[in-house]
Amino acid sequence: MDGFEMGDSVNEEDLRDCFAMFAMMGVIVRGGLHPELMPEDCIARRSYELADAMLEARNAKTEEGIVAIKKRVRKTR
């Protein structure tokens, strides 16, 4: 069977392209296609900047960011 199947690994470049696609969709949905607000070439460039930020967050150590928050345990008597 061709295509992506569960368990297949995705390389970093494909993942970056996928993240950029979703970032671009977000810009378009928010109405960011007004040429006076954001030129088309700027939308593509910004989408890849957002994708790079997503990859950085994905590869961050668990001690950083929101995932570092530890669940509090209440002491019971």
Angle, CA of 58, 61 and 66, to the nearest 5°: 75
pLDDT of residue 1: 42
What is the pLDDT averaged over residues 7-35?
A: 82
Question: In terms of DSSP H, where are the helices of 1-77?
Answer: 12-29, 40-58
Numbers of helices and strands, H then E, in the chain:
2, 0
Q: Dump pLDDT digits (tens) for 33-76.
A: 666 666 777 888 888 999 999 998 887 766 656 666 666 777 77
Q: Using alpha carbons, list the distances in angstroms from residue 46 to 6, 9, 33, 57.
A: 30, 26, 12, 17
- Highest average pLDDT, of 1-5, 26-30, 43-47, comes from 43-47
Q: Which amino acid is at 71?
A: K
